[in-house]
Structure 1
Amino acid sequence: MDRQNGAGSFHIRRCGDTLKAVSYGPCNRNILPFSPPKAHQMRAGEFLRRSIVHDGGSMSTRTRLLGGALVAFLALSGAARADTISFADAVSTLANDCGSDIKKFCKGLNLGSGRIQNCLETHAAKVSPTCTATLASVTSSIGQRLAAQSSFTTICKHYVAQFCSGVVGEGNILSCLNKATRVNEGQCGQAITDAGWR
């Protein structure tokens, strides 16, 4: 299935479990590794299971620092924020708002590993204002989502112990946390929302 931007010249083509930016042609080169939302949630759940359920939260120093930073950010930002954007929606949004710029300045580049972002930033003076604004917004939202996923165990560990201590399985733990009203109103609930898990 192809998704075409408003300019009519740039496509995001699904090739199995991957997405590819093409102007034409089959799914054979320049493929972005892409996880559909369910697979992505499974990886996030795997992270949850390993960090909370099995080893009691033994996380890397980097993850702890990210968690601490997110906790501080959530504590200081009393206002409710909009949900973060999914990875699939980020690709679609960039295709719609930046398709002509990508085709003009970044044609043939693989979408993965930040290559398109780097290309657009390199040509920032020539890129359309709409694309520049969209790129900044999408990058910020994806960064917020990744930070929430990394810090989830730090933020929600207390709630897991308090409300879901007898629950087995990462999906069941998330379901339990989503049902607990106190969790939904607090920082853990915001982290779950920001991580894209509800």
Structure 2
Amino acid sequence: MPKLKTLIAAMLFCAVAAPVMAQTISYGEAIDKLVAACGADVDKYCKDVRLGGNRIQDCLSANAGVSGICKVTLNEVNELLQKRAAAQAAVPQLCKSEAKRLCENFREGRGRILRCLTREENARNVSKECNTAITNAGWR
């Protein structure tokens, strides 16, 4: 089962290339869902497929015998991970004015601005859009 989780984790990291905001999913949750829904299909159809390059996902998509629940779960997980990636890309722009106003004494880099924006004392002064993007990005 650890090998299966590794296969699916590699598939996920290769598949997430972003293209707003809504419910998202963590990588750990995605792996757990895919192992539960697609584990038998990966073992049956894709066990000899090499990791990387989206090959596991391509293998599952190409096999007509893959279970319906696996196909549905794969689509749902990919959609949620794309939303997470989109939220992560949107945070700097959506939170730009708050970062300037609330975090002027923080140097950029190493998540300092994000830590400033998510501090309890700043919570009331951060816009709903910025807070939503931070949450959907998985950074809260």
**Into which bin does the TM-score normalised by the smaller protein fall?**
0.7 to 0.9
CA drift of 1:33 comes to 9.2
Offset at 1:91?
Answer: 2.0
- Structure 1 residue 12 and structure 2 residue 14: aligned? no
Of Structure 1 and Structure 2, the greater strand share is in: 1
* Unpaired segments ≥5 residues, structure 1: 1-10, 23-30, 36-62, 67-72, 75-80
2:82 aligned to which of 132, 143, 149: 143
Whether 1:86 and 2:72 are equivalent positions in the alignment is no
Contact 1:85-1:138 at 8 Å conserved across structures: yes
- Cα shift at 1:117: 1.3
Change (3 A) 1:106 1:13: closer
Matched, 1:194 2:136: yes
Partner of 1:174: 114
Alignment map for 1:45-60 (pairs within 5 Å): none
Which of the numbers 72, 81, 98 marks the counterpart of 1:133? Answer: 72
Q: Which has the higher helix share?
A: 2
* More deviation, 146-155/167-176: 167-176
Cα distance in 1 between the residues matched to 2:113 and 2:98 = 10
| Whole-angstrom CA distance in 1 between matches of 2:73 and 2:106 | 40
Does the 8 Å contact 1:155/1:191 carry over to 2? yes
* Aligned residue pair count: 132
**How far did residue 34 of structure 1 move?**
9.1
1:88-126 deviation digits (Å, cap 9, x = unpaired): 322222111100011111112234321111111112x32
Find the counterpart in structure 2 of residue 104 from structure 1: 44
Identity of aligned residues (%): 36
* Superposition RMSD in Å: 2.9
For structure 2, list consecutive stretches of 5 or more residues without a partner in the other structure.
none
